[in-house]
């Protein structure tokens, strides 16, 4: 019977390798069934900013950890009584405004805004502390908020939950204090500051955002193990320490609640130009945080994520990690010399021993992910072994970018196996699936007693390149991330699929699929899942290049084929940085936003009111609010407007009075206002699968810079989404003159390459009338617009509602929605073409827009970032 099992395993792997299961499927992510959202829970006060960055699930609770701060300046006068932070939820289809929701509030420490490096958005880096929200996973009701405070910039980058315990990690610049279970408190001090000292203002930066490979702040790492019920700490350790930068990026529990930690430590010798960063993996005792062992990886710049294998059948459990050979990602960053990396930089996946951290196998892939609190760093998760098999799933950013043929997963550690007396070598992945192959297995495999065991270090081992299943990343141009599947015992790659950046990855408990989630900004390049292009949400009053969104997608474990992708958002800082799952198959998005109104998938629309601002003066929230949303991923249904759907949505039949646009249902007459397309409507008589021109387009509305606007609306410049709006004196929407371009007020002309308030010049001589051409008018105009006199805006910039405590963080330095702002490249031709092809029915409109995109003037070519490099996610 055992030999029969082995034979079946061999046949399975032969089939996998010979049939090329790794080949990227095409025409996917268009499944007939999709899930709905159950609820969303938010932080809801303007007196606090909360940015959850990592998530965990345990015992029916969802935990969301991130950076939190009071927005109250302690120097500005008496601090108002009450709580700075409130968590409110659930917001659901039956209570979309949260009228009957529950609220949990928390006091935060208010710091002086004059202490710590000043942010571009106001406030200071020194105000940030470590916060963890606890939410009931079934109901969405908040249960508690835990906070650990200290002078200087404290950031959270790792979170784990198991039983009644949580572990939190990150870095800090000054000091950090935790109340302990024995009734005492413990304060740790940055090793470069010393006990009683204060962090320098010059060191208040994200760890890799000041100058990613040359220098950075003098951060140290920390880990806290605490009660999931009370937030009281069992212990807190100060690890690792450095004279330049150190951080614990990821933590995980084992079955005994020991904590494994992964991160990096950087040092810089006196007079050196560049710092040197090494990856770190360590194990700490559950009882007191004692360091049990540590492993320093000098061939990688950082270890990004770590996962412990709870399935122990014949051997010790494995540790699985992802890493990068460079500090900042890309081709720069003082990349390490990794003997298994044949490129300038590599993404790295490893299996380590859980007893001492020794490497057992390694796979390297071209392209090196950068990391930071606001990057989508992907993750690594264990498959469901009883159903799926012994596999791991990995998502990594910037992996496979470049030449496709160079991004193979078949690199790294050779394969061991068994060598018969006849000289036939059988690689380990043909011998056992359920365990790592050891010498005794060779005799068991052929029953001859003459086979010789070949270790992975033996000269006769099979090189990784001997596997020719074509598993590689980088096959789809424009995708920044790669999702990969590996056999966990041997490291054999099974398949790889290119996708947009991934914030979190969640294998489904039925073992049939894997979920991914993240956020996107389709402003310079379209966000593509295979051939599906996601539209971006646009907040009211936002610029056409300020679109963003959140996605959830499902992939088959068999070959990585996309089953569906759904999108959510409100257009103002839509962010998901992590996703976690429960035992029933539900997925929880962890992130933040500045929306008041948010569209969750196809079914849930929530309207949030900040608790202390009952009558908001702008469409968006005044501070950044944490969000946790529940996708009921285990239950799927066909979209309501599809009367039949058997193969995919391309072949579905749409109900007569509805449209099915970009994967969502709309009733006749509905507008695309949520996407900045208020001058386009669902008109089933014209097109059931794309937006049609509204009667107002060309009459009272223009479509310029990828958004609809009213006649007489002036162009404005805005450096960031929260910066002053500086209006032009002459460039305006005039549908009668031009539907798709800014028109100049009489007596003025626009100055090429200039921004308001210096973008207009008076016409000093009468211009010659342009020749008459046969070019058709771009929009169907049956009625001429009314010549209403237009008054230009005043010179005084329009200041948005107070946002002085919002951070100019790394993610906000990413070209973030504003074709008219310094922190954005604007819309390229590919982005406009992708959006217009899917959304604009009128050919004349499309022709003009595409013409402008390809050859027109971009009013925002400059990028100004004060505090660090720009990540290239979805940015040309």
Express as a percent the part of the chain with pLDDT over 90: 61
Q: Going by DSSP bridges, is the β-strand pair 379-382/417-419 parallel, antiparallel, or unpaired?
A: unpaired
- Best CA proximity match to 549, nearest among 579, 520, 518, 588: 520
The pLDDT of residue 619? 66
The overall average pLDDT reported for the chain is 82
Q: Which of 298, 325, 342 is the last residue of a domain?
A: 298
Phi, psi of 238 (to 5 degrees): -105, 95
Q: Which of 122-136, 654-668, 711-725, 768-782 has the lowest mean pLDDT?
A: 768-782
- Best CA proximity match to 165, nearest among 212, 224, 125, 86: 224
Would you give the end-to-end CA distance of the chain in angstroms?
58
> Does residue 283 lie in a domain region?
yes
Q: Is 211 exposed, middle or buried (0-12, 13-18, 19+ CB in 10 A)?
A: middle
pLDDT band at 846; cut points 50, 70, 90: very low
Question: Averaged over 304-317, what is the pLDDT?
Answer: 82
> Does residue 219 lie in a domain region?
yes
C-alpha–C-alpha distance, residues 209 and 865, integer Å: 10
The pLDDT of residue 83? 86
**Residue 99: how many other CB atoms lie within 10 Å:** 8
pLDDT of 55 over the 90 cut: yes
Q: Which of 268, 298, 328 is the last residue of a domain?
A: 298
| pLDDT tens for each residue of 212-271 | 555 667 889 999 999 999 999 999 999 999 988 899 999 999 999 999 999 999 888 888
E strands, 420-525, are: 425-427, 452-454, 481-487, 493-499, 504-507, 513-520
SS3 of 188-207: EECCCCCCCCCCCHHHCCCC
- Best CA proximity match to 515, nearest among 577, 560, 456, 455: 560
Q: Which letter, b or e, does each residue of 279-290 get, where b requires 16 or more Cβ atoms within 10 Å of its Cβ? A: bbbbbbbbeebe
User: How many domains is the chain partitioned into structurally?
Assistant: 2
Question: Averaged over 644-668, what is the pLDDT?
Answer: 96
SS3 of 834-872: HHHHHHCCCHHHHHHHHHHHHHCCCCCCCECCCCCCCCC
C-alpha–C-alpha distance, residues 240 and 223, integer Å: 9
Phi, psi of 189 (to 5 degrees): -120, 135
Question: Averaged over 604-612, what is the pLDDT?
Answer: 88
Close Cβ partners of 253 (under 8 Å, ≥ 6 residues apart) = 160, 161, 162, 165, 167, 259, 260, 308
> Does residue 693 lie in a domain region?
yes
pLDDT band at 786; cut points 50, 70, 90: very low
Q: Is 332 exposed, middle or buried (0-12, 13-18, 19+ CB in 10 A)?
A: middle
pTM of the model as a whole:
0.87
Which phi-psi region, left, alpha or beta, contains residue 116 (left: φ > 0; alpha: ψ -120 to 50)?
left
| pLDDT tens for each residue of 715-752 | 999 877 777 889 999 999 999 999 999 999 999 999 99
> Does residue 202 lie in a domain region?
yes
The pLDDT of residue 456? 96
Question: Averaged over 173-184, what is the pLDDT?
Answer: 95
Q: Taking a C-beta distance cutoff of 8 angstroms, is the pair 114, 90 a contact?
A: no
| pLDDT tens for each residue of 6-17 | 333 433 444 444
**Enclosing H/E stretch for 242:** none
**Enclosing H/E stretch for 668:** none
The pLDDT of residue 114? 78
Q: Is 403 exposed, middle or buried (0-12, 13-18, 19+ CB in 10 A)?
A: exposed
The pLDDT of residue 434? 87
Range of the domain at 758: 671-717+723-802+826-855
Please spell the DSSP secondary structure of 321-367, one letter per residue. Answer: EEEESSSSSTT-S-----TT--SSSEEEEEEEETTT--EEEEEEEES
| pLDDT tens for each residue of 344-373 | 889 999 999 999 999 999 999 998 887 666
pLDDT of 820 over the 90 cut: no
Q: Which of 276, 298, 320 is the last residue of a domain?
A: 298
pLDDT of 860 over the 90 cut: no
C-alpha–C-alpha distance, residues 262 and 258, integer Å: 14
Express as a percent the part of the chain with pLDDT over 70: 79
pLDDT of 776 over the 50 cut: no
For residue 414, the SS3 value is: coil
C-alpha–C-alpha distance, residues 553 and 505, integer Å: 10
**Residue 737: how many other CB atoms lie within 10 Å:** 13
> Does residue 844 lie in a domain region?
yes
């Amino acid at each position: 019977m055992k030999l029969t099992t082995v034979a079946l395993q061999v046949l399975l792997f032969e089939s996998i390798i010979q049939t090329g299961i790794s080949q990227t499927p095409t025409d996917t992510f268009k499944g007939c069934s999709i899930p709905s959202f159950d609820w969303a829970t938010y932080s809801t006060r303007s007196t606090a900013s909360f940015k959850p960055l990592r998530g965990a699930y345990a015992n029916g609770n969802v935990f969301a950890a991130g950076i939190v701060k009071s927005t109250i300046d302690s120097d500005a006068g008496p601090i108002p009584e009450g709580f700075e932070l409130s968590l409110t939820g659930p917001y659901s289809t039956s209570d979309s405004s949260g009228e009957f929701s529950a609220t949990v509030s928390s006091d935060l420490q208010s710091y002086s805004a004059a202490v710590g490096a000043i942010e571009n958005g106001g406030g200071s880096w020194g105000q940030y502390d470590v916060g963890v929200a606890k939410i009931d996973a079934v109901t969405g009701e908040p249960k508690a908020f835990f906070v650990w405070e200290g002078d200087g910039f404290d950031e959270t980058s790792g979170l784990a939950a198991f039983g009644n315990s949580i572990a939190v990690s990150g870095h800090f610049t000054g000091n950090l204090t935790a109340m302990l279970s024995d009734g005492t408190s413990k304060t740790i001090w940055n090793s470069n500051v010393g006990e009683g000292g204060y962090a320098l203002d010059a060191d208040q930066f994200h760890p890799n955002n000041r100058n990613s490979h040359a220098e950075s702040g003098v951060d140290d790492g920390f880990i806290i193990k605490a009660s999931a019920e009370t937030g009281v700490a069992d212990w807190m350790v100060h690890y690792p320490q450095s004279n330049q930068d150190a951080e614990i990026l990821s933590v995980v529990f084992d079955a005994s609640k020991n904590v494994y930690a992964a991160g990096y430590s950087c040092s810089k010798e006196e007079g050196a130009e560049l710092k040197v960063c090494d990856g770190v993996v360590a194990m700490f005792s559950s009882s007191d945080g004692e360091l049990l062992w540590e492993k320093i990886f000098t061939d990688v710049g950082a270890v990004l994520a770590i996962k412990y294998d709870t399935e122990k059948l014949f051997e010790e459990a494995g540790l699985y990690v992802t890493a990068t050979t460079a500090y900042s990602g890309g081709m720069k960053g003082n990349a390490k010399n990794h003997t298994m990396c044949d490129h300038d930089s590599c993404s790295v996946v490893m299996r380590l021993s859980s007893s001492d951290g020794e490497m057992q196998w390694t796979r390297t892939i071209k392209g090196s992910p950068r990391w930071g609190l606001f990057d989508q760093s992907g993750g690594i998760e264990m498959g469901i072994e009883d159903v799926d098999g012994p596999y791991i799933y990995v998502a990594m950013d910037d992996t496979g970018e470049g030449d496709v043929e160079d991004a193979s997963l078949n690199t790294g550690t050779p394969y061991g196996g068994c060598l018969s007396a006849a000289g036939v070598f059988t690689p380990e992945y043909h011998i056992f699936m359920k365990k790592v192959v050891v010498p005794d297995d060779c005799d068991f495999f052929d029953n001859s007693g003459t086979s010789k065991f070949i270790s992975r270090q033996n000269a006769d081992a099979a090189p990784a390149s001997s596997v020719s299943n074509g598993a590689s990343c980088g096959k789809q141009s424009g995708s920044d991330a790669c999702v990969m599947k590996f056999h966990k015992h041997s490291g054999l790659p099974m398949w790889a699929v290119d996708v947009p950046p991934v914030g979190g990855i969640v294998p489904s408990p039925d073992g049939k699929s894997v979920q991914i989630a993240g956020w996107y900004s389709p402003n310079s390049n379209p966000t593509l899942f295979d051939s599906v292009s996601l539209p971006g949400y646009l907040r009211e009053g936002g610029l056409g290049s300020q679109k963003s969104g959140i996605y959830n997608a499902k992939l088959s474990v068999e070959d990585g084929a996309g089953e569906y992708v759904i999108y959510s958002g409100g257009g103002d800082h839509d962010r998901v940085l992590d996703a976690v799952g429960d035992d029933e198959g539900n997925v929880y998005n962890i992130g933040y936003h500045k929306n008041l109104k948010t569209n969750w998938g196809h079914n849930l629309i929530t309207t949030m009111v900040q608790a202390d601002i009952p009558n908001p003066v702008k469409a968006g929230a005044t501070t950044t609010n944490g969000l946790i949303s529940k996708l009921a991923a285990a239950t799927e249904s066909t979209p309501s407007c599809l009367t039949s759907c058997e193969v995919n949505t391309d072949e579905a039949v749409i109900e007569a009075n509805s449209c099915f646009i970009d994967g969502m249902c709309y009733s006749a007459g509905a507008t695309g206002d949520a996407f900045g397309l208020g001058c386009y409507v669902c008109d089933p008589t014209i097109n059931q699968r794309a937006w049609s021109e509204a009667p107002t387009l060309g009459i009272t509305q223009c479509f310029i810079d990828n958004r609809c606007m009213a006649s007489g609306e002036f162009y404005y410049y805005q450096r960031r989404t929260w910066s002053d709006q500086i209006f032009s004196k002459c460039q305006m929407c005039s549908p009668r003159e031009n539907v798709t371009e800014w028109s100049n007020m009489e007596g003025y002309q626009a100055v090429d390459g200039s921004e308001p308030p210096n973008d207009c010049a008076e016409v000093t001589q009468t211009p010659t009338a342009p020749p008459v051409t046969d070019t058709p008018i771009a929009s169907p105009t049956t009625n001429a617009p009314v010549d209403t006199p237009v008054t230009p805006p005043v010179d005084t910039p329009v200041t948005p509602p107070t946002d002085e405590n919002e951070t100019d963080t790394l993610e906000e330095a990413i070209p973030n929605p504003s074709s008219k702002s310094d922190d954005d490249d604007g819309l390229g031709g590919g982005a406009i073409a992708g959006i217009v092809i899917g959304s604009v029915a009128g050919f004349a409109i499309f022709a003009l827009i595409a013409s402008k995109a390809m050859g027109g003037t971009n009013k925002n070519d400059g990028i100004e970032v004060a505090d660090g490099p720009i990540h290239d996610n979805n940015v040309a």
